[in-house]
Amino acid sequence: MNTCNNEGIIRPVRGKGDPRVGPDALMVMIPSELKYLVRQAQAAEIAFNNMNLFRLYGVSDGTDLSLTLSGPFFGAPHAVAGMEKLIALGARRIWAFGWCGSLQPDMKTGHLIIPTGAISEEGTSPHYPIREKTLESDAKLNRMLEEELKQQDFPFAKGTIWTTDALYRETPDKVKDYRAQGVLAVEMEISALMTVAHYRSVEMAALLVVSDELFDLKWRPGFSNPLLRKTSRSAAEILLSLAGSLTQNDTLKNHKYRPR
């Protein structure tokens, strides 16, 4: 008998021995920035069933993991596998952090971008039936992130980014076309994370740092630029602080005080 079932045969689950995580999880794409955040948060590595795919680190409140850091991730399929697992473990707010290539002349290496929407040229998103929903990040989380960046006097841009699996197929024609449309940057994961967030009904926001430039149809890598390291570390700390404060607020709201 033919039945209509959109769930996969293999499903993301919290396996035996897997931890239960808190509502906020940071997905860090860049290995060096993940190591930095783990040190900053004094997080401990956590054993779980999918350690062959990515690493998981936690800050504990004494019982469960109150804040989770994960990564590194490379490309949409890898990042989505991580996101699915985090959701299965209990995460409900996903904060993504990574680097991107600028498509706009006024966005140089070290510039910060909040992706509010995405153009998908990766192969993972089409497998998640979200009907006609627009690819976008969570407006409430974006507002919180904007306010935090403004308070700390960090200039940033917000808008649409281009996600592609094809690292070596960012052609001049594509760059010119997306630049003309006002697309801010190109990277490899965000549109897929937006799609899964819609499909799994979780909140998701991201912060990207421009690491290289393509807007003049030449590749200008900024990976050795000290400004990239400085800005990237500061931006990562902002995400860590924001996610941690939300988790702390949730803990306080859920705590029941008993009169003595």
The residue range of the domain holding 59 is 24-252
- Residue 259 belongs to a domain: no
Total number of domains constituting the chain: 1
Task: Answer yes or no: is 8 within a domain.
Answer: no
Q: Is 4 part of a structural domain of the chain?
A: no
CB 90 within 8 A of CB 48: no
Residue 245 lies in a domain: yes
Share of the chain above pLDDT 70, in %: 91
Contact yes or no for 34/72 (Cβ under 8 A): yes
Look over the chain and give the mean of its residue pLDDT values, rounded to a whole number: 91
Token representation of residue 260? 């003595």
The alpha-helical segments, DSSP class H, found in the chain are 31-41, 76-89, 139-151, 172-180, 190-200, 226-254
Residue 52 lies in a domain: yes
What's the confidence (pLDDT) of residue 132? 77
Higher-confidence residue of 48 and 7: namely: 48
pTM of the model: 0.92
The string of pLDDT tens digits covering residues 196-211 is 999 999 999 999 999 9
pLDDT for position 38: 97
CATH code of the domain in which 106 resides:
3.40.50.1580
Q: Is residue 6 part of a domain?
A: no
pLDDT tens figures, 107-152:
999 999 999 999 999 999 999 999 877 899 999 999 999 999 999 9
> Under a CB-based contact definition with an 8 Å cutoff, are residues 102 and 220 in contact?
no
